[in-house]
Amino acid sequence: MFTSSVYKNSPIIIQNQMVSLRDLIRKLFRQTKEQRELQALIESHEYDSNSINAFHEKKLKNVLNNAVKNIPYYRKTIRTNEPKLDDFPVISKFEVVSNHGEFISELNNGVVISGATSGTTGSPLIVKQNLKSVIQERAFVARNHKWAGFKPGDKRAWIRGDMVVPLEQKKGPFWRYSKFENMILLSSFHMSQNNLQGYIDAMVRFDTDIIQAYPSSILTLAKYLEVNDAYYPNQLKSIITSSESLNLKDKRLIEKRFKCTVFDWYGLFERVAAIASCEYGHYHILTDYSHVELLDVGDGRHEIIGTNFNNDLQPFIRYRTGDHVYLSDETSCPCGRAFPIVDRIDGRIGDYLIGEDGQKVHILNHIPKGVEGLIATQFIQDQLDCIEIQAVVEPKVFNTHQEHILIENTKERLGKSIEVFVTIVEKIQKTKSGKTRQAICRIKDTL
Ligand SMILES: [Zn+2]
Question: Cα(341) to centroid of ligand 1, in Å?
Answer: 8
Assigned domain for 399 exists: yes
Question: Cα(244) to centroid of ligand 1, in Å?
Answer: 21
Contact 50, 84 (CB under 8 A): no
Question: Cα(326) to centroid of ligand 1, in Å?
Answer: 16
Left, alpha or beta for 370 (phi > 0: left; psi -120 to 50: alpha)?
left
The pLDDT, as a whole number, for residue 446 is: 53
Question: Cα(422) to centroid of ligand 1, in Å?
Answer: 46
The pLDDT, as a whole number, for residue 163 is: 86
Distances (CA, A) of 295 to 57, 218, 247, 291, 299: 20, 32, 21, 13, 12
Distances (CA, A) of 287 to 122, 147, 250, 265, 430: 30, 16, 27, 14, 33
Assigned domain for 398 exists: yes
Contact 325, 296 (CB under 8 A): no
Question: Cα(29) to centroid of ligand 1, in Å?
Answer: 31
Question: Cα(293) to centroid of ligand 1, in Å?
Answer: 20
Assigned domain for 415 exists: yes
Assigned domain for 222 exists: no
Distance between CA 96 and CA 270 in Å, rounded?
11
Question: Cα(262) to centroid of ligand 1, in Å?
Answer: 13
The pLDDT, as a whole number, for residue 395 is: 87
Distance between CA 179 and CA 273 in Å, rounded?
32
Cα dihedral angle (350, 355, 358, 362), rounded to 10 degrees? -20
The pLDDT, as a whole number, for residue 114 is: 83
Question: Cα(282) to centroid of ligand 1, in Å?
Answer: 5
Distance between CA 445 and CA 447 in Å, rounded?
6
- Provide CB contacts within 8 A for 157, sequence distance 6+: 175, 183, 184, 186, 202, 203, 206, 208, 210, 211, 212, 213
The pLDDT, as a whole number, for residue 43 is: 97
How many domains does one find in the chain? 1
Which of 397, 419, 417, 398 is closest to 407 using CA atoms? 419
Measured in whole angstroms, how far is the alpha carbon of residue 265 from the centre of its chain?
Answer: 9
The pLDDT, as a whole number, for residue 156 is: 97
Assigned domain for 433 exists: yes
Assigned domain for 358 exists: yes
- CATH of residue 408's domain is 3.30.300.30
Amino acid at 164: V
Assigned domain for 378 exists: yes
Tens of each residue's pLDDT in the chain, 447 residues: 888 889 999 999 999 999 999 989 988 888 889 999 999 999 999 999 999 999 999 999 999 999 999 999 999 999 888 999 999 999 988 888 888 789 999 987 788 888 877 554 556 688 899 999 999 999 999 999 999 999 999 999 999 888 899 888 989 899 999 999 999 999 988 988 889 999 999 999 999 999 999 988 899 899 999 999 999 999 999 999 998 889 899 999 999 999 999 999 999 889 999 999 999 999 999 999 999 999 998 888 899 999 999 999 999 999 998 889 999 999 899 999 999 999 999 876 668 899 998 888 887 877 888 888 887 788 999 998 999 999 988 888 899 999 999 999 999 889 999 999 999 998 877 766 556 788 899 887 655
Question: Cα(224) to centroid of ligand 1, in Å?
Answer: 30
Left, alpha or beta for 246 (phi > 0: left; psi -120 to 50: alpha)?
beta
Phi/psi of residue 392, nearest 5 degrees:
-100, 125
Distance between CA 138 and CA 25 in Å, rounded?
14
Question: Cα(254) to centroid of ligand 1, in Å?
Answer: 19
Distance between CA 214 and CA 94 in Å, rounded?
27
Host domain of residue 386: 353-441
Question: Cα(284) to centroid of ligand 1, in Å?
Answer: 7
Question: Cα(50) to centroid of ligand 1, in Å?
Answer: 17
Question: Cα(328) to centroid of ligand 1, in Å?
Answer: 13
Question: Cα(51) to centroid of ligand 1, in Å?
Answer: 18
Distances (CA, A) of 140 to 241, 258, 273, 287: 15, 25, 12, 11
Distance between CA 52 and CA 73 in Å, rounded?
30
DSSP element (H, E) containing 29: helix 12-30
Assigned domain for 377 exists: yes
3-state secondary structure of 435: coil
DSSP-derived secondary structure letter, 140: H
Distances (CA, A) of 188 to 140, 323, 339, 360: 25, 24, 33, 9
Question: Cα(285) to centroid of ligand 1, in Å?
Answer: 10
